[in-house]
Structure 1
Amino acid sequence: MTSQKIKKLGIVVLLFLLLFFYKCPFQTITGIPCPGCNMTTSLYYLLHTDMERSLYYHALLIPTMLIFLACVYFRKNEKIIKILLIIWCILMIAYYIYRMIMYFPNSPMVYDRNSLIYFIFRHI
């Protein structure tokens, strides 16, 4: 197998693992959802053409995909990429704060009682 084929196979395996077996490390440790939590669920519903549920789980999935595509398109212009990423970060933080105020600890921003911190405090 050539080096290029091994890299492509590695990317496919990594994407498969991320899509089907990924567990958010931030939520696994703290129990609190991270800014990107539920984005995979949102992608699942988007791929199944259920736009309402997709937006319910994470409304910034589509803007995130568009910004990613724009970064790929403008990959040679670092200034545009930097501006796009700053805009994306501001949107993600603002949306995260909104979701934590409005939804936490209810769906879709649930507290994970199987987290490491919850386990430690439960046994102290």
Structure 2
Amino acid sequence: MLIKWSKPFRKNPKLVWGSFFAIGTVVYLKVWIPLTGLSIPCPIHAVTGLYCPGCGMTRSLTALLKLDLEAAFRYNSLVYALVPLYLCYWLLQRKKLHRTSNAVLIAMVILALGYGIARNLPLFDRLAPPDL
């Protein structure tokens, strides 16, 4: 028996894949990690002992699912700067303003690299994720 997808899903396969990704993420964060205690470790931190720009993301997303905004921000604050910039980039791409969207993309890369460097300096140790 073939599954008949509703009209929005047939016209937009990105919606299907995005839905599967979102459901998988929630199951991973709310079921797998609490049951097993196993999560994906950061390979950069495991090898070098340094914090990458993404360190603390899993715990940040878990805190967001619990609506604990303060803890989510504490685990990885970079996301809260990148999400609005990414939305701006996406809108500029849709409007075909490629020069401006490329500038926003470059700003996002520079911000991520700067954040990754700063969170490993003693002066900015508050940017490092707690409890690693």
Classify the TM-score, shorter chain. Answer: 0.5 to 0.7
Conserved 8 A contact 1:35-1:96: yes
Q: Match for residue 78 of structure 1?
A: 98
CA distance in 1, matches of 2:129, 2:64: 18
> Could you tell me which amino acid in structure 2 is paired with residue 23 of structure 1?
I
CA distance in 2, matches of 1:9, 1:19: 16
Picking from 90, 96, 99, the partner of 2:119 is 99
Q: Which ranges of structure 2 fall in alignment gaps of 5 or more residues?
A: 29-38
The percentage of counterpart residues that share the same residue type is 23
Picking from 21, 38, 56, the partner of 1:38 is 56
Change (3 A) 1:97 1:20: farther
- SS of the residue 1:100 aligns to: coil
| Within-5 A mapping of 1:105-124 | 107-108=129-130, 110=132
**Deviation of residue 79 (structure 1)?**
1.1
Relative contact order, CA 8 A, sep 6+: which one is greater?
A: 1
Conserved 8 A contact 1:46-1:54: yes
Count how many residue pairs are aligned between Structure 1 and Structure 2. Answer: 108
Change (3 A) 1:23 1:99: same
